[in-house]
Amino acid sequence: MMPAVISVKKIFLGCIALGCMQNSFAQNCKTTAELDIVPGQYLTAAQHPWPAARASYFEELKTAADKAIAKKTLELIEKAEQQSRMGFNLTGGNWENTFSSNGYQYAGNNRLGKFYLQAAHYEFFCASGKLKRNTEYGTVLRVYVNSIPLNTLDPFLQNPFGSSFGNYDLGFEYADWKNHKLTDPGDKLINLFTYLSCNDPSLLEAINTGQHYFQDVAEKDVKLNSRVPLIHRYWFIKKNNGPVLVPVSRKEYLLSLLEYYQREKLYFTKLVDKLTGDRDNSVKQYDEWETAVNEKIEIVKKTLSTQKEDWLRSQAVINRMEDASQNYKNKLKERINYNRFWKFYDGEKKSEPLYQYNLNYFKTTTTGAATPQLITVAFRYVTLPSSLRLLHNFTNRFDYTAYYKLLQ
């Protein structure tokens, strides 16, 4: 058996160098299951076989300083992950790394450059009696710098507010809409669109304390030897200067609605003029928009003027489904009644408290927007043996301190 294993390694190394990693091995196989013990290869991001892919790693970051910070940070993260696998026997597939960047976002007035490491497990499978490398992955580790992955956390944490701004959007959702360029989506948003709703207190605790991981599927619901569902386990590495997310008060939320309504006035004026000039019949959907927006403004202003300060300082709890139901019951036109305020909620089904990024946590730095201030580690796995081996090794040897040292 030993000579066969050695030949497997040699062929894999040759394929890596030539970019032909999908080629079959000379070694015969009968089932995919038997390949679970075949040694795999580890590829760093620098060893990715395609030069064009390597060249695009940091293209979404706009300055040389940000690109340099991101590259250095991800190389250190890559080394930390590699240390977690010291003595680990990688089998059943390859563990391949890439770097990537996601542009920018704002936390208050602080611009953050976003980038991440991806380490994916490409499994071996048996096809026509030959071992091949799968071109897709089920198990993947992603380490995000300066961001929380709302795409996968969406069932628990999300940006809850849509807008009336549609096909003729002129950037009115941005704080400085006059200078916003459609080619730069990383500009600062108006307050309403920076808020997050969270329906899981354990996730919020994990983000704000960094003391334990959060998993999106309860252990009791995890079934072994299955490719579904894809399960995510998250760790959050933060600085010791307060929580990452803090409550949005009722007053803050109401004031953000007024800001949004003022943008609607600008938007609807331009939109209706354009549709009228184009003789577009869809303009009828915006009949009486001024009345609708003024009603929304009046409701919010009345609430602000009649409620006591203690009440206004309490956390805002919203219920988007109930608000939409009220709009429907009152036969209000959808296009001109986005984000109409009906009331605050308190524990009703589908109600969710609002949070915002803590302005005291994120600090403006002189070194650049890409300076690490928050790290999210997300490990996606399935319950097959090769995936579980990687998960358990990473979880058991997770080195919080190594990641924490990267934060400034």
What are 124's strand-pairing partners? 133
Q: Which residues are CB-contacts of 146 (< 8 A; sequence separation ≥ 6)?
A: 105, 112, 113, 114, 115, 370, 372, 373, 374
Token pair of 269 as six digits = 């004026």
| Phi-psi map region of 382: left, alpha, beta (phi>0 left; psi -120 to 50 alpha) | beta
In this predicted structure, the answer to whether residue 1 has a pLDDT above a threshold of 50 is: no
344-361 residue pLDDT tens: 998 788 999 999 999 999
Residue pair 100/119 in contact by the 8 Å Cβ criterion: no
Q: Positive or negative CA dihedral for 89, 93, 96, 102? A: negative
205-237 residue pLDDT tens: 999 999 999 999 999 999 999 999 999 999 999
What is the reported pLDDT for 12?
38
Residue with tokens 């600090």: 363
What is the reported pLDDT for 27?
67
DSSP string spanning 101-119? EEEEEEETTEEEEEEEEEE
Amino acid (1-letter code) at residue 84: S
Residue pair 85/168 in contact by the 8 Å Cβ criterion: no
In this predicted structure, the answer to whether residue 84 has a pLDDT above a threshold of 90 is: yes
DSSP string spanning 336-359? G-TT------SS-TT-EEEEEE-T
Strands 317-318 and 352-357: antiparallel
What are 59's strand-pairing partners? none
156-168 residue pLDDT tens: 999 999 999 987 7
Please report how the helices 250-277 and 289-306 are oriented relative to each other, as an axis angle in degrees rounded to 10: 170
232-245 residue pLDDT tens: 999 999 999 999 99
The percent helix, strand, coil of the chain (3-state, each to 5) is: 40, 20, 40
What is the reported pLDDT for 166?
83
**How is the chain split into domains, by residue range?**
2-152+203-242+373-404, 246-357
Token pair of 135 as six digits = 């071109």
249-261 residue pLDDT tens: 999 999 999 999 9
What is the reported pLDDT for 185?
83
Mean per-residue pLDDT for 10-28? Answer: 41
Q: Which residues are CB-contacts of 212 (< 8 A; sequence separation ≥ 6)?
A: 205, 206
Cα separation of 75 and 69, whole Å? 10
Strands in 93-216 per DSSP E: 93-107, 110-127, 130-133, 139-145, 157-158, 196-198, 214-215
Cα separation of 250 and 390, whole Å? 45
Residue with tokens 């399935």: 382
Mean pLDDT of the chain: 92
Amino acid (1-letter code) at residue 76: L
